[in-house]
């Protein structure tokens, strides 16, 4: 299919008032079919048909999260440029589009309120969970400094939880994607990101052992107080390396090895922190060039920010090594 064919297919799909309205709405976040039905005031079969045509033309992106399906304006692919151009040229003063935006704001407020009512206590507890050892503000300040230095065009936050780290780093990254296996936490994260208007950051449901992401698609990956929950930390790091581009950066913020056994029972920690030698060995095996870690000592526990860069020369060698190991 030629670029002209793609353009004509996109124009044909958009040549309908309802589909242009959907495109305008989906430029302002991620929406389920039921939410779009509410905003447009049309039947679900009709909305679903319009969405199908727009997605097939590459103007919208469709992704499933559990039993829900979300739609948003395409950010990549051959139809993304046309989708953005059409959105820019829609008249701001059109009465129908103005009404749609009012209904969109109502739907967004309702989604936010529902999430906050149900998950506020749990979300607050979860964020405090990550501050067991030292003041979380010190850690966030250090992570912000790293983000300012790296300035990644795209960052993935593995085990994002409530999306706190995405919110903290949002001003210093081109785009951010949070991955988490908890649907409840993702609802909270989506509400918080929406409230902060960090529209260049999204969250997705996924397994940290099998990230729903393409190879070499991010400049940076962060695991913030996540790895100690993993049954196989090396497998998690291996998967993070897979999605990093050449010279990509990995940041692991976690506990230094300790003997606080109560964290296993009360906080469900699988690992009692990590030693510098263990982390260095993993980085080396995966082809990372480790940089100087940052240490933050608390009364009983120490937090370490390990950081490393994926060596350009080692990336292909490591991939070949892993393939050879799997074949054996």
Locus of tokens 């291996």: 238
Distance (Å, whole) CA 80 – CA 10: 10
Residue 291: the pLDDT is 95
Residues 78 and 132 in one domain: no
* pLDDT value of residue 135: 82
Residue whose structure tokens are 């049309």: 42
Query: Would you say residue 211 lies in a domain?
Result: yes
Domain limit, last residue, from 90, 105, 134: 90
Residues 200 and 312 in one domain: yes
CATH number of the domain to which 170 belongs:
3.40.50.150
Closest Cα to residue 158, out of 207, 118, 194? 207
Instruction: Read off the pLDDT of residues 22-77 as tens digits, 9 standing for 90 and up.
Output: 999 998 877 889 889 999 999 999 999 999 999 999 999 897 755 678 898 987 78
Q: Which residue has the tokens 């292909």?
A: 316
Which residues touch 162 (CB under 8 Å, ≥6 apart)?
Answer: 123, 126, 127, 185, 188, 189, 192
Q: Is 86 in the same domain as 129?
A: no
Query: Which residue in 111, 87, 110, 116 sits closest to 28, CA to CA?
Result: 87
Average pLDDT score, the chain: 85
Residue 102 lies inside a defined structural domain of this protein: no
* Contact assessment for residue 313 and residue 320, using Cβ atoms and an 8 Å cutoff: no
Q: How many CA atoms lie within 13 A of 276 on its CB side?
A: 10
Q: What angle do CA 105, 111, 112 make, to 5 degrees?
A: 90
* Domain end marker among 90, 108, 135: 90
Residue 120 lies in a domain: no
Would you say residue 58 lies in a domain? yes
Asked if residue 188 belongs to a domain, the reply is yes
Q: Give domain status of residue 39, yes or no.
A: yes
CA–CA distance, 59 with 53 (Å, rounded to integer): 9
Residues 41 and 145 in one domain: no
Task: Indicate whether 133 and 81 sit together in one domain.
Answer: no
- Burial string for 166-201 (b: 16+ CB within 10 Å, else e) reads bbbbbebbebbbbbbebeebbbbbbbbbbeeebeeb
* 228, 133: one domain: yes
Do 148 and 293 share a structural domain?
yes
Report, as an integer, the average pLDDT of 209-237. Answer: 92
Q: What is the pLDDT of residues 86-131, one digit of tens each?
A: 999 999 899 999 999 999 888 877 765 654 454 344 445 555 555 6
**End position of a domain, from candidates 47, 74, 90:** 90
Domain count, the chain: 2
Asked, for residue 103, whether it belongs to a domain, the answer is no
Report the CATH number at residue 29.
1.10.10.10
Angle, helices 95-129 vs 183-195, to 10°: value is: 120
pLDDT at 120: 45
Task: Look at residue 78 and tell me if it is in a domain.
Answer: yes
In which domain, by residue range, is 74 found?
A: 3-90
pLDDT in tens, 150-202: 999 999 999 998 899 999 999 999 999 999 988 888 888 888 888 666 889 99
């Amino acid at each position: 299919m030629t670029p002209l064919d793609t353009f004509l297919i996109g124009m044909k799909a958009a040549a309908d008032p309802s589909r242009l309205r959907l495109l305008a709405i989906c430029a302002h976040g991620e929406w389920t079919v039921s939410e779009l039905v509410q905003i447009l005031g049309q039947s679900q079969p009709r909305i679903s048909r319009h969405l199908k045509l727009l997605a097939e033309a590459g103007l919208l992106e469709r992704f499933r999260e559990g039993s829900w399906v979300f739609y948003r304006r395409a950010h990549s692919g051959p139809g993304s440029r046309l989708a953005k151009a059409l959105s820019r040229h829609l008249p701001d003063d059109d009465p129908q589009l103005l009404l749609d935006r009012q209904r969109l704001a109502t739907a967004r407020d309702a989604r936010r309120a529902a999430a906050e009512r149900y998950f506020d206590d749990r979300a607050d507890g979860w964020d405090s969970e990550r501050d067991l050892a030292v003041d979380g503000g010190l850690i966030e300040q250090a992570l912000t400094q790293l983000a300012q230095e790296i300035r990644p065009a795209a960052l993935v936050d593995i085990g994002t939880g409530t999306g706190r780290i995405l919110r903290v780093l949002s001003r210093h990254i081109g785009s951010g994607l949070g991955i988490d296996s908890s649907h409840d936490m993702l609802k909270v994260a989506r509400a918080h990101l929406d409230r902060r208007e960090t529209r260049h950051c999204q969250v997705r449901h996924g397994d940290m052992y099998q990230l729903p992401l393409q190879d070499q698609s991010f400049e940076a990956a962060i695991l913030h107080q996540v790895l100690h929950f993993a049954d196989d930390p090396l497998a998690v790091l291996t998967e993070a390396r897979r999605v990093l581009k050449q010279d990509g950066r990995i940041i692991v913020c976690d506990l230094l090895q300790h003997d606080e056994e109560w964290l296993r029972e009360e906080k469900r920690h699988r690992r009692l922190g990590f030693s510098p030698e263990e982390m260095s060995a993993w980085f080396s095996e995966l082809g990372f060039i480790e940089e100087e870690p940052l240490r933050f000592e608390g009364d009983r526990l120490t937090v370490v920010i390990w950081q490393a860069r994926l060596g350009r020369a080692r990336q292909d060698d490591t991939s070949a090594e892993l393939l050879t190991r799997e074949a054996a």
